[in-house]
Amino acid sequence: MKNRIADANLAEEGGKSYHWAYEHMPALTRTITKLADQKPLKGLTAAVCLHITKETSVLAMGLKTLGADVYLAAANPLSTQDDIAAYLASQGVHVFAWRGQNSQEYQECIRDILRSQPDIIMDDGADTHVTIHEEAEFKNLKAIGGTEETTTGIIRLKALEKSGKMRYPIIGVNNAYTKHLFDNRYGTGQSTIDGILRATSLLLAGKKIVVCGYGWVGKGIAMRARGMGGLVTVTEIDPFRAIEARMDGYEVIPIAEAAKIGDIFVTATGQYHIIRGEHLSVMNDGAILANAGHFNVEIDVDALEKLKKKKTTPRRNVDEYLLKNGKKIYLVGEGRIANLVAAEGHPPEVMSLSFSNQLLSAVYLSQHKGKLEKRVNNVPIEIDRQVAINALEAMGIQIDTPTEEQVKYGESWIV
Ligand SMILES: NC(=O)c1ccc[n+]([C@@H]2O[C@H](COP(=O)([O-])OP(=O)(O)OC[C@H]3O[C@@H](n4cnc5c(N)ncnc54)[C@H](O)[C@@H]3O)[C@@H](O)[C@H]2O)c1
């Protein structure tokens, strides 16, 4: 099958970014080097649907080094870095992605990678797994198993598992400690702020920043927004997380109240229509909206369209909506995942951990063919732990080992 990319001439530029990421992902690259001679994925085909960034290029090349034939599509129509897609295509990865796909093209590229009859399916958001389970064309596809990168994907796959229709085992990479505690929090925290700044180039200090959802992603964004001098308010529906946000020092109020006071709004819930028409109508003139959740459903963009008098694009990745009430609202990246649309996604150091889990989970699936249950399995704790050890080693950090006495004390019920 022929590659479908924007421009093959961008390969050299993409190669530079690949090498930059490679240099800064030691936990992953050392794992690849250790397994390179064994080629544990030899003879297998991997269909990979991830955001096509420089960090993903290191994973894709790593899968190839371990012996897999790799087919790659994008996990979002706007997140592909075209130079990276071109570089990977020049290195023998089969790439079906470009930035700015429409919904049909996005879905067609997912079908393209599945036509390779993959043994292993890596996904981010579960669109690929859902396509396999929904579309007649793929009803005979026999995969060894799959992985899933993000919270939203895990929620969808748990629902599939509950329906009793899951056809192969899936490893929920997001559930690994070395994924959600770092990628979702520190990765999204930094890169979402990066996306908002690259898109708007405005000052964060002194701005009222409303973070919707105080999960791992929301915590990271709130922490970094405060670090830049923002006055952060959190909205939540979960009482535990609401208390946590309050004790972390943020104001916690309902979205109906927050809508009236915020300068910048960032959604991070994975849920539907968090910011709706009734909120948009009461916002301050010049309010900025950005989404960090996986799908573009958290900000009701249709409601914004209905309320508008005029829409313009003053900057790349920023749409200005002049509302009928005379106020302006700015939307970053069409309400799609702002850190990938308006910036470059997570920094390499953090993806080094997440993608170590992806790579080792793929190897684990291949070594446990037919032995795992057809459900969302956790990343085995020994893999998770090894990723943490590799990351510490890469950072040059040593930690203590418990003494024999401490081990005994920890295992005893008598003091
Ligand atoms: N941008 C990225 O690169 C990136 C990275 C990781 C995860 N994600 C995505 O970000 C989203 C959140 O992920 P997470 O790991 O933080 O999930 P999480 O489950 O830890 O947190 C979500 C939080 O949102 C809250 N919430 C749900 N509905 C709400 C509502 N109506 N109002 C306010 N709060 C509400 C929940 O109570 C929860 O605390 C998911 O879609 C996930 O896939 C994006």
Q: Which atom of ligand 1 is nearest to the CA of 184?
A: 6
Residues 6+ apart with CB under 8 A from 255: 210, 212, 235, 274, 275, 279
Q: How far apart are CA 346 and CA 368, in angstroms?
A: 31
Ligand 1 pocket mutation, candidates 150, 265, 358, criterion most atoms within 8 A of CB: 150
pLDDT of residue 246: 98
The pTM for the full model equals: 0.95
pLDDT of residue 38: 97
pLDDT of residue 1: 75
Nearest residue CA, atom 31 of ligand 1?
A: 274
Q: Which atom of ligand 1 is nearest to the CA of 125?
A: 43
Q: What is the DSSP letter of 175?
A: G
Locate CATH 3.40.50.1480 in the chain: 8-179+346-395
Locate CATH 3.40.50.720 in the chain: 188-341
Nearest residue CA, atom 5 of ligand 1?
A: 184
pLDDT of residue 287: 98
Q: Hey, what amino acid is at 223?
A: M
Q: How far apart are CA 35 and CA 390, in angstroms?
A: 14
Ligand 1 centre from 125 Cα, in Å?
A: 13
pLDDT of residue 415: 78
pLDDT of residue 103: 96
pLDDT lower than 70: segments of the chain: none
pLDDT of residue 192: 98
What H or E segment, with its residue span, contains residue 146? strand 145-148
Q: Which atom of ligand 1 is nearest to the CA of 212?
A: 33
Q: Which of 394, 369, 381 is nearest to 31 (CA)?
A: 394
What H or E segment, with its residue span, contains residue 152? helix 151-162
CB neighbours (10 Å) of residue 229? 12
Pick the CATH number of 188-341 from 2.60.120.10, 3.30.420.40, 3.40.50.720, 3.10.20.30: 3.40.50.720
Ligand 1 pocket mutation, candidates 252, 269, 298, criterion most atoms within 8 A of CB: 269
Q: How far apart are CA 175 and CA 366, in angstroms?
A: 20
Q: Which atom of ligand 1 is nearest to the CA of 345?
A: 3
Q: What is the DSSP letter of 181?
A: I
Nearest residue CA, atom 19 of ligand 1?
A: 215
DSSP string, 232-291: EEEE-S-HHHHHHHHHTT-EE--HHHHHHH-SEEEE-SS-S-SB-HHHHTTPPTTEEEEE
Ligand 1 centre from 218 Cα, in Å?
A: 7
Greatest C-alpha distance within the chain: 73
Residue 73: phi and psi, rounded to 5, are -130, 170
Residues with CB under 6 A from ligand 1: 150-152, 180, 184, 188, 212-218, 235-238, 241, 268-271, 274, 292-294, 337, 339
Could you say which architecture CATH assigns to the domain 8-179+346-395?
3-Layer(aba) Sandwich (3.40)
Q: Which atom of ligand 1 is nearest to the CA of 235?
A: 33
